Amino acid sequence: MKSFVNPLAPRTNRLQVKSTEIRAWVRHLVDLPEDTPVSVVELACRDEGCPDIETVIGIMEANKPIRTIRVHMALAEVTRNAIAEAVHGDSRPRLDSAR
């Protein structure tokens, strides 16, 4: 009998479909070639001061530092508009070169 929700359950590949979708949105919004690797990561960093959950997208163009897009929502909830806002929003705060 399993009478509790398992918070440590391995993630399912359901998120793979979503991350493929996110990569396609990013490629379109940032105008990337199809062969540029785009890394999609859901982070639940428990450090103080960090958001509870966020999706970090790494753009890995050849011979360039990794650029990151941060969307402060779970991977499953990321929308094309949220990425567009992070990339092209007025303040343009979240498209930075990673160190």
Partner 1 sequence: MNAINTIPVTVLTGYLGSGKTTLLNRILTEDHGKRYAVIVNEFGDVGIDNDLVVDADEEVFEMNNGCICCTVRGDLIRIIDSLLKRRNRFDAILVETTGLADPAPVAQTFFVDEDVRSKTTLDAIVTVVDARHLLGEIEKAHEAQEQLAFADIILINKIDLVSEQELAKVEARIRRINPTAVLSRSERCQVPLDQVIGRNAFDLDRVLELEPDFLEHFHDHEHDDHVTSFSLTSNEPLLPERFFPWIQSVAQHFGIDMLRMKGIIAFEADDDRYVMQGVHMLLEGNHQRPWKPEEARLTRIVFIGRDLPRDIIENGFRKCIAGEEGRLG
Binding site residues, partner 1, CB under 8 A = 1-4, 6-11, 13, 15-16, 19-20, 23, 37, 39-43, 45-47, 50, 56, 58, 60, 66, 68, 75, 98-99
Q: Contact, 86 vs 95, CB < 8 A?
A: yes
Specify the residue, 31 or 99, whose C-beta has the smaller distance to partner 1: 99
Specify the residue, 7 or 93, whose C-beta has the smaller distance to partner 1: 7
Residues 90, 80, 64, CA angle at the centre, nearest 5°?
70
Q: Note the residue count of the chain.
A: 99
CB of 96 to partner 1, least distance (A): 11
Q: Which residues of 1-37 are buried (b: 16+ CB within 10 A; e: fewer)?
A: eeeeeeeeeeeeeeeeebbeebbebbbeebebeeeee
CB of 3 to partner 1, least distance (A): 6
Specify the residue, 3 or 81, whose C-beta has the smaller distance to partner 1: 3
